[in-house]
């Protein structure tokens, strides 16, 4: 999530983030040789004349803004010009050098000399008119800010969109971090079949039967000793 209120504006309208967010970026990506950008107000914002020529081919409809965290500070600047209804724009072959090319030779403050690393968070928005190193526009409108991972891959959805709150963790993920004993307590234990449990009378009867068998074994042992005792004594004397 990009902290909108903490962004410092470089070379553009200082209040650009207070422009009404009337558009949404639906597709954005860097690819070898080109930039892909699609938003919901494409072809609807009134273009501006940026070179004083009468040809509408020289008009500019919007500016792509880049938002980066440089040395711990979030900064934003308008960087790439977009013609009316333009969705694809030629760029260098290496997508990781697009931003360096956009700021090359101009004063973009902290952007100059800074190259984002692969995997860094990066923000984008589109602003009506020409707001690269200036403020020329017919309407004060912009798109919502989106956050992506650098470099943005075409077809990849944004990580975050302005106005979106952080999604709550899924219940499954939350439960995975619960204490094991709590999970065990919550496991369903099937009801016992009490019809198969022995009664106290059954236990007493079984106990009486066991004791009777023990008495019988003891009686048998004593009778055996009485009958064979003399024989064992004679045998023992013979062995001496």
For 180-225, how does the pLDDT look when each residue is reduced to its tens digit (9 = 90+)? Answer: 545 455 555 455 554 555 567 767 776 777 777 777 777 776 776 6
User: Do residues 119 and 203 share a domain?
Assistant: no
**Together in a domain, 113 and 202:** no
String of DSSP letters for 24-92? -EEEEEEETTEEEEEETTTTTSPPEESSS-S-GGGEE-EEEEEEEEETTEEEEEEEEEE-TT--EEE--
Q: Indicate if 81 and 146 belong to the same structural domain.
A: yes
pTM of this prediction?
A: 0.69
Overall average pLDDT of the 80-106 stretch: 96
Q: Mean pLDDT across the stretch 92-97?
A: 96
Q: Do 149 and 211 reside in the same domain of the chain? A: no
Q: Domain count of the chain?
A: 2
Note whether residue 182 is domain-resident. Answer: no
Q: pLDDT exceeding 70 applies to what percent of the chain?
A: 75
Q: What residues make up the domain containing 151?
A: 4-165
Bridge partners (DSSP) of residue 44 are: none
Q: Are residues 206 and 158 in the same domain?
A: no
Joined tokens for residue 98: 């697009």
Q: Once rounded to an integer, what is the mean pLDDT over residues 61-70? A: 98
Give CA angle at 122 (106, 143), nearest 5°.
85
Looking at the fold, whether 158 and 201 belong to one and the same domain comes out as no
Report the residue count for the chain: 240
- The CA-to-CA distance between both ends of the chain, in Å, stands at 102
Q: Is residue 172 part of a domain?
A: no
Return the closest-CA partner of residue 41 out of 129, 102, 119: 129
Query: Quick check: helix, strand or coil at residue 65?
Result: strand
Residues paired with residue 21 on neighbouring β-strands, in sequence order: 142
Kindly tell me if the per-residue pLDDT of 133 is higher than 50: yes
Domain match, 11 and 70 both = yes
Average pLDDT, rounded, for the chain: 85
Task: Mention every residue, 6+ apart, whose C-beta is less than 8 A from residue 69.
Answer: 75, 120, 121
User: How large is the C-alpha radius of gyration of the chain?
Assistant: 42
Report the distance separating Cα 189 and Cα 191, nearest Å.
6
Residue 129 shares a structural domain with residue 14: yes
For residue 89, count CB atoms less than 10 angstroms from its CB and return exposed for 0-12, middle for 13-18, buried for 19 or more: middle
Say if 171 falls within a structural domain: no
113 is a domain residue: yes
Residue 184 lies in a domain: no
Paired sense of beta strands 142-143 and 21-23, if any: parallel
Instruction: For residues 212 and 107, state if they share a domain.
Output: no
Write down the pLDDT at residue 194: 46
């Amino acid at each position: 999530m990009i902290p909108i209120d903490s962004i410092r504006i470089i070379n553009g309208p200082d209040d650009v983030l207070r422009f009404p967010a009337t558009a949404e970026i639906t597709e954005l990506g860097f690819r070898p040789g080109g930039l892909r950008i699609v938003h919901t107000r494409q072809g609807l914002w009134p273009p501006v004349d940026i070179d004083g020529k009468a040809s509408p081919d020289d008009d500019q409809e919007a500016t792509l803004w880049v938002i980066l965290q440089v040395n711990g500070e979030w900064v934003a600047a308008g960087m790439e010009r977009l013609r009316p209804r333009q969705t694809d724009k030629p760029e260098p072959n290496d997508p990781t050098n697009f931003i360096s090319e956009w700021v090359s030779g101009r004063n973009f403050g902290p952007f100059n000399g800074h190259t984002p690393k692969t995997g860094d968070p990066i923000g984008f928005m589109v602003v009506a008119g020409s707001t690269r190193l200036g403020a020329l526009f017919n309407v004060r409108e912009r798109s919502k800010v989106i956050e992506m991972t650098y470099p943005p891959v075409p077809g990849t959805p944004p990580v975050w969109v302005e106005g979106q709150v952080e999604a709550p963790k899924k219940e499954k993920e939350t439960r995975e971090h619960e204490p094991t004993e709590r999970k065990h307590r919550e496991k369903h234990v099937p009801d016992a079949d009490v019809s198969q449990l022995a009664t106290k009378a059954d236990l007493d009867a079984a106990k009486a039967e066991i004791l009777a068998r023990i008495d019988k074994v003891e009686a048998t042992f004593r009778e055996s000793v009485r009958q064979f005792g003399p024989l064992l004594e004679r045998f023992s004397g013979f062995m001496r």
